[in-house]
A and B are shown apart, each in its own frame.
Chain A
Amino acid sequence: DAMVIQNPRYQVTQFGKPVTLSCSQTLNHNVMYWYQQKSSQAPKLLFHYYDKDFNNEADTPDNFQSRRPNTSFCFLDIRSPGLGDAAMYLCATSREAGASTDTQYFGPGTRLTVL
C-alpha cells in the first residue's frame, strides 16, 4: 500500500562520485518534491516538478539536478557529492500545488552517506 516509495533507503557514495536517488508514487499526483534534511533540522526544499515543469529553489546548488521521465517517477542526481551533502533526502507528492489539495505526502527518505 506504499504510496510514495524511495529507493534505496540507505545510500553510501564516495566524495565526488555521482549518485542518483529514486522516488516513485502510486497516487498519480501532479507535483513531486525533493527535500534535503540534515540532522536535527527542518526539511529544506530543493526543487519540485509540477507535471513536467521544473521549479528550482534559488539557493539549491547546481550540484543537484532532477529528472521526471513520467508522472510516477522522479530522480535526484547529485553530480559531485561533498561531505556536506550527507543528509536524509525526502521525496513528497501532492495532487496540485495550492489550496486544499496541496497536502504533501512524504516517502520514507533515503539516507545518504558520503565517505
Chain B
Amino acid sequence: GEDVEQSLFLSVREGDSSVINCTYTDSSSTYLYWYKQEPGAGLQLLTYIFSNMDMKQDQRLTVLLNKKDKHLSLRIADTQTGDSAIYFCAVLREDSSYKLIFGSGTRLLVRP
C-alpha cells in the first residue's frame, strides 16, 4: 500500500526559510496535499499540487514536486512564529477508495 514519510522535527529561526520534505511510494498518486495543524486544532489545508506540475507558489509557500524521485517539499519563506505547527503531507490514493494517505507529520518550531 501507499507509504508516506516525513521527518519528525524541524527548527528554524524567525525570518529564515523552512523546507519540509515528504516522500511517497505510490507513483500513480495524482494529487498531493499539505495540511497544517496547530495545537489542539483540526487540519487546515494549505495547498495542493497536481502531479503534472513541478512547482506551485502561493504567497510565502512554494511546493516542489519531483515525481521521478517521489519527493514533495514545502518551502515557507520568511518563517514567522505563527507558522509553528505540525505539517502533514498527504497523497490521494488513486484506486476505488480515493483515500488520503497521510505522513506522520513534521513539527516545525520557529525560534524568535
Interface residues of A (CB under 8 A from B): 4, 6, 40-43, 45, 55, 90, 92, 97-100, 102-109, 111
Contacts and interface: CB of A to CB of B under 8 A. Distances in A.
A42 B104 contact: yes
11 contacts: A42-B102, A42-B105, A43-B102, A90-B42, A102-B31, A102-B98, A104-B45, A106-B42, A107-B42, A108-B42, A111-B40
Interface string B23-43: 000000011010100001111
Contact of A106 (B44, B99, B105): B44
Given A90-B43, A106-B42, A41 B104 contact: yes
Nearest to A44: B102
Nearest to A104: B100
A98 B31 CA distance: 10
- B interface secondary structure, majority: strand
A100 B98 CA distance: 11
A98 B98 contact: yes
A42 B100 CA distance: 11
A97 B104 CA distance: 23
Contacts of B105: 40-42
Given A55-B97, A106-B43, 9 more contacts: A41-B105, A43-B43, A92-B43, A99-B30, A100-B50, A102-B92, A103-B33, A104-B45, A105-B45
Interface in B43-97: 43-45, 48, 50, 88, 92, 97
Contacts of B104: 40-42
Contacts of B44: 106
A43, A100, A109: most-surrounded residue (chain B CB, <10 A): A43
Contacts of B33: 103
B98 A106 contact: no
Contacts of A97: 98
